[in-house]
Structure 1
Amino acid sequence: NYRAKIFRGYANIGYKATKKIYFYGFKVHVIVSDDGYILDYVVTKASVHDARETVELIENTHPSNYYLLGDEGYLGKELHQQLKQMGYELWTPYRKNMTGAKKHNDHQLMS
């Protein structure tokens, strides 16, 4: 595969657990303002976990909104605690099989 040869050493294989699929390439981790402006971003190999880049992006950006929204890739007590110590509150939807998911993921609460 030509694309695989070009990015050898830079890209790699990642796994999307919610869809149970593997993919080859990169991930883009982005901090976006309430208005939709990109504040900071980083491109990593596909295998890098979403939460790993979050703290560094927040430290570099210092977003003015202290409430952050992330997807299921940002679930995890350790990340939530780290961000709380920095003064940020991270909200992530629960996975469907988690206790309290239906109430927590209510679309009216998220809007």
Structure 2
Amino acid sequence: LVSYHRFVEWMPSALLPLCVYLKHCFGACSGISFIDSSSLKVCHNRRIRRHKVFRGLAARGKTSVDWFFGFKLHLVVNDQGELLNIQITPGNTDDRKPACDLLQGLYGKVFADRGYVSKALAERLFETCGIEFFAKPRRNMTNHLMRLTDKLLARKRAIVETVIDQLKNISQIEHSRHRSPTNFMVNVICGLIAYCHQPKKPSLNLDFALPPSA
């Protein structure tokens, strides 16, 4: 086996083949998809000013929990917990910005949280891709009528949060010990591939009967 330092030197050369292999590991769209994003912190907030590894690449962003410095992982999963597409952006990127690229080539219904509320986005996705896009309304917004099946599916959106939790705690795609932006990408891609090979993934439990027209 090569030494640790030699292994680290060879890691950047594996980035492109790993990206191609990750694309091969993606699942198939089933007509029911869930989209979400999560922070990838690269350092503690107190060390932002003296952080050098990702200077000019990472950015400050805000989640529903707190501010962070790093990147955002945007991902789409199907009802079987399989990855359909991913994208990594700076931490200050709006969740709605990469949505069209992420959902390109998919069909059916897509469910999201409050960060994706946009009438223009929903209309664009329906016109260009034929996708019915459902985002959880904010508290100060009026509720719109939804079919019962869509409302029940929207309550199952926690599946994508479970996927993110497994990516961070089992595949360990997030840590603050990176010494190179390229090796950061290799670590994230390897974690995503490891998740794709998990024999048991969180899946959607449809404990209600869909009508024939759904």
For the aligned pair, the TM-score class normalised by the smaller chain equals 0.7 to 0.9
More strand by share: 1
TM-score (norm 2): 0.43
Residue type of the partner of 1:30? Answer: L
For structure 2, which runs of at least 5 residues remain unmatched after alignment? 1-46, 156-214
- Whether 1:77 and 2:122 are equivalent positions in the alignment is no
State which structure, 1 or 2, has the greater radius of gyration over its C-alpha atoms.
Answer: 2
Query: Matched residues in 1 for 2:51 and 2:118: separation?
Result: 32
Q: Which residue of 2 aligns with 1:10?
A: 57
Q: Secondary structure at the match of 2:80?
A: coil
Q: Which residue number corresponds to residue 66 of structure 1?
A: 108
Counterpart-to-counterpart distance in 1, 2:112 and 2:131: 12
Verify: 1:94 aligned to 2:103, yes or no.
no
Q: In the alignment, residue 121 of structure 2 is paired with which amino acid? A: L
| Offset at residue 72 of structure 1 (A) | 0.8
Give the SS at the match of 1:4: coil
- The percent identity for this pair of structures is 31
Letter in 1 for 2:138: R
1:77 and 1:100 mapped to 2: Cα distance? 13
RMSD of Structure 2 on Structure 1 (CA): 2.5
Instruction: Please state if 1:42 is matched with 2:84.
Output: no
- Post-superposition shift, 1:4? 2.8
Structure showing greater relative contact order (alpha-carbon pairs closer than 8 Å, 6 or more residues apart): 2
> Aligned pairs, how many?
103
Deviation of residue 73 (structure 1)?
Answer: 1.1
- Partner residue, 1:56: 101
